[in-house]
Structure 1
Amino acid sequence: MMVLKGIWAGTASGITLGLFLLAVESVTKIKVYTLLMNVDFVPWLGSINWPWFMEWFFHLLISWGIGFLFVYVITTRHIDVRSSKWLTASILAGLAAFSYVPLTLLASKETPSLSNLSAVFYWLAGHVLYALVLNISFKK
């Protein structure tokens, strides 16, 4: 049951983050969605020009892992207090948000620079949204 709850939480939050960054990139032309979906730096995976649905699958794999970790921590630590649940979701989403730096540095595709404050803002806003959805998608 914990695995299914983790998959649900990861799916809901991962889709929300992906659609948010897709909308941001569509409107602003700042390549934050491209950065999110980018796997060109991963050995073997990066040499293949993946269709969009596979990029989404890779993105959701990571999100499922985060969702499972969230459910595991909440369930095994018996965290019932709303603020603790929110803190756990925020820490996990915050760690994911820090991926902006290595993803930007390792990317071969055109992605936003580290100094692009608008991109950093949208990336962080997306991950705050991710934490919010992760938190509300889990019910004991």
Structure 2
Amino acid sequence: MLRLGISIGMLSGIILGLCLKWIEWLTGKQVYTLLLNVDFIPIIGPIQWPEWVEFVFHLLIAVAIGIVFVYIVGKLNNMSIRKIVLCSFLLTLPTIPLYFPLTLLALKPTPAVDDAVAIFYWTAGHLIFAAALVFGYIILKRRL
């Protein structure tokens, strides 16, 4: 179960990161920068981390969500696909409003707190993350 949760979290986190990086590259909206931003966190914030380290920080959160997702789905035996999707969505839902405090706390340039387009991209990326949890679970459950 742990290996499955880690794998699903890594896969979903990589997909989210790549989606937001692509959106930022394409549009200039700094949603990927916001995803990786840790500059406001005491102790680690003042350090100028390379992008890959910031991405690892992001993946740690994604892995934690993946582990919790697999744990919940495993505890509720024989869940229908509808319930698995709902579980994924409910676990991912709190990450969407994180846009606002993360934007307000950021020291480096990120999208404005009221940038509707950036909020849309952030939300879409996280909904893709939720979908990746489900598809990852369906595909990897058989293989791990």
Matched, 1:83 2:86: no
Q: Take 1:70 and 1:101, find their aligned partners in 2: how far apart are those partners? A: 24
Matched, 1:25 2:21: no
Offset at residue 79 of structure 1 (A)? 4.8
Equivalent AA in structure 2 for residue 56 of structure 1: F
Partner of 2:2: 3
Equivalent AA in structure 1 for residue 13 of structure 2: G
Equivalent AA in structure 2 for residue 35 of structure 1: L
Partner of 1:130: 129
How does the TM-score come out when normalised to structure 2? 0.93
| Structure 1 runs, 4 residues or longer, greater than 3 Å off | none
Q: Take 2:78 and 2:51, find their aligned partners in 1: how far apart are those partners? A: 37
Within a 5 Å distance, the mapping from 1:108-127 to structure 2 comes to: 108-127=107-126
Partner of 1:107: 106
Q: Take 2:3 and 2:27, find their aligned partners in 1: how far apart are those partners? A: 36
How does the TM-score come out when normalised to structure 1? 0.96
Secondary structure in structure 2 of the residue aligned to 1:43: coil
CA RMSD, aligned part only? 0.9
Equivalent AA in structure 2 for residue 83 of structure 1: R
Preserved CA contact (<8 Å) 1:79 1:85: no
Q: Deviations over 1:83-108 (max 9, x none)?
A: 11000101111111221111111111
Partner of 1:97: 96
Q: Which runs of no fewer than 5 residues in structure 2 stay unpaired?
A: none
Within a 5 Å distance, the mapping from 1:23-102 to structure 2 comes to: 23-102=22-101
Secondary structure in structure 2 of the residue aligned to 1:138: helix
Q: Which moved more, 1:126-135 or 1:74-83?
A: 74-83
Change (3 A) 1:99 1:85: same
